[in-house]
Homo-oligomer: A and B are copies of this chain.
Amino acid sequence: MNYSIHIGPNIRQSPYFQATVADGVRSFSVYNHMYIPGTFGDPEGEYQRLMTGVVMWDVAAQRQVELHGPDAARLAQYLTPRDLSKTRVGQGRYVPICDHDGWLINDPVLLKLAEDRFWLSIADSDLVLWAGAIARERGWQVEVFEPDVSPLAIQGPKAEDVTAALFGDWVRELKYFWFKQTELQGIPLVLARSGWSKQGGFELYLQDGSRGWDLWQAVKAAGAAFDIGPGAPNDIERLESGLISYGADMRRQEFRASPFEMGFASLLALDASFDCVGKAALLGMRAAGTKRQRSGFIIDGPAVVGNAAPLTLWQGGSAVGWVSEIAHSKRLAANIGVGLVDGAALDGGAALHINLPEGARSLRPASLPFAGGR
C-alpha cells in the first residue's frame, strides 16, 4: 500500500523542509503538527549510513516547550517525578511526564538553559497545553510557549568528526546529554550531544527558523568529506537499540502505560520531598506492583515487513498485551519487536503469537536492548 500525503497549510513545514525537498525526500509523516521526513528513497542505505558513517536528520518536529521565569524551575520539577535538583545549567535529562493518574503523556528531554529557563524537547503530544494549563491554574510566574527552535540531528559513528569540523574539537569533550549555546556562520543554535539513535551524535537546536536552509547546507558541506547523507529517525535501529517511541509504544489516549511498566522505575524519585503531578497515583502503583512490563520479542518465521498498527499479543485465546512495532533486523538476522505484556503470561511460558496479515506467528520474549549502542 502506498498513499500520498497532502502538503497543506494545516500542517507546519520544518525550517529544513525546502532543503529536504531539494535533497530528494520521498515520504513524510506528521509529528507535533509538523511534516517530518520518512525516507529519501533508500531505506537500506540510510540505515547503513547511520550504522557505519553519518546521517543528517530533519527532526524539527521534535518541538520545544520553553519554561521561562521565576517559577520555571518549580514548574519543571512539578511536571516530572524525576529529581532535577542536581541538574546543572548546560545539562539535559530524559524526563518522563505523567498525568495525575500516573500515565505517561510524553517523554521529553529537558534542557536546562539557565536557572530560570528550560526547554522540554518533546515527543508527539501537545505538552505546551498541559504545562501551560498547570502553570496558569497554579498562578506561577512562568511563561510557557513554543519558541522558534528546530533540531537538526547528526548521527552515526562519524557524527563527531563532522560536528568537530563544523564547530571545533571542543565538541569531542561534550558529555552525553550536555549542551552548549553557540553559533555557526552567525546562525544561533544550541549544540547537544544527543539524538534518537544509539549510534552517537549531536543535535543542533536551530534558534532562527529563517536560517534552516543555511544550516542544512553548512552541515551537508562539512559532512561531504565523510559521505554524509540525509535520512530520518530509523525504526529498525530504534528497535535494535531499545529506544522508546511515545505514540507507538504507548500513548495516553489508548495503549496507555505507566513509567513502571515502561521500565522507568529507577528514574523516579517518589521518596524525595518534592511534589509532582501524579505522585500519589505513582506511589499507589509502586505499592500495588506492576502487572505489565515492557519487553522485546523475537518473532519466528520469515522476514517480516513491519506493521501498520499495534498488534494484539495472544496467549492461546487470551489477549495478554500488545506488540507496538516489529521489523526485520538484517544485522541480527532476526525479526524483532517491542511491546507491553502481562508478566504472568511470561511466567506461564505458554506459547505467544501475533496475527500478521498472512497468518499467525509465534514469538518469544527477549531482553532489551537487542543490540549494544556506541
By a beta-carbon cutoff of 8 Å, the part of chain A in contact with chain B is 1-13, 21, 25-30, 33, 38-39, 63, 99-100, 105, 124-130, 132-134, 136-138, 146, 235, 245, 247-248, 251-254, 306-310, 324-325
Contacts of A63 in B (CB 8 A): 253
Quick check: B28 and A11 within 8 Å, CB to CB?
no
- Minimum CB distance partner of A278 in chain B: B136
Give 7 nearest A-B pairs by CB, closest first: A30-B30, A5-B5, A126-B126, A133-B133, A10-B248, A100-B136, A129-B130
Query: Which residue from B30, B99, B105 sits with its C-beta under 8 Å from A29?
Result: B30
Bound-state Cα–Cα, A190 to B6, Å: 30
Contacts of A33 in B (CB 8 A): 124-125, 247, 251, 253
Query: Which residue from B6, B100, B252, B307 sits with its C-beta under 8 Å from A38?
Result: B6
Quick check: B1 and A7 within 8 Å, CB to CB?
yes
Quick check: B126 and A308 within 8 Å, CB to CB?
no
Given contacts A1-B21, A3-B28, A138-B137, contact A9 B309 (CB under 8 A): yes
Interchain nearest-CB distance for A36 vs B (Å):
10
- Minimum CB distance partner of A145 in chain B: B253
Given contacts A129-B126, A132-B99, contact A308 B5 (CB under 8 A): no
Given contacts A63-B253, A128-B252, contact A25 B3 (CB under 8 A): yes
Quick check: B27 and A3 within 8 Å, CB to CB?
yes
Quick check: B6 and A27 within 8 Å, CB to CB?
yes
Quick check: B137 and A9 within 8 Å, CB to CB?
no
- Minimum CB distance partner of A27 in chain B: B4
Quick check: A105 and B129 within 8 Å, CB to CB?
yes
Bound-state Cα–Cα, A27 to B30, Å: 14
Bound-state Cα–Cα, A310 to B11, Å: 10
Contacts of A21 in B (CB 8 A): 1
Bound-state Cα–Cα, A3 to B7, Å: 8
Quick check: A133 and B137 within 8 Å, CB to CB?
yes
Interchain nearest-CB distance for A70 vs B (Å):
17
Bound-state Cα–Cα, A253 to B129, Å: 10
Contacts of A138 in B (CB 8 A): 137
Contacts of A137 in B (CB 8 A): 133-134, 137-138
Interchain nearest-CB distance for A86 vs B (Å):
27
Interchain nearest-CB distance for A344 vs B (Å):
25
Bound-state Cα–Cα, A237 to B1, Å: 29
Bound-state Cα–Cα, A283 to B105, Å: 33
Given contacts A30-B11, A127-B129, A309-B13, contact A4 B2 (CB under 8 A): yes
Contacts of A7 in B (CB 8 A): 1, 3, 308
Quick check: A26 and B9 within 8 Å, CB to CB?
no
- Minimum CB distance partner of A13 in chain B: B309
Quick check: A11 and B247 within 8 Å, CB to CB?
yes
Quick check: A8 and B29 within 8 Å, CB to CB?
yes
Bound-state Cα–Cα, A63 to B9, Å: 21
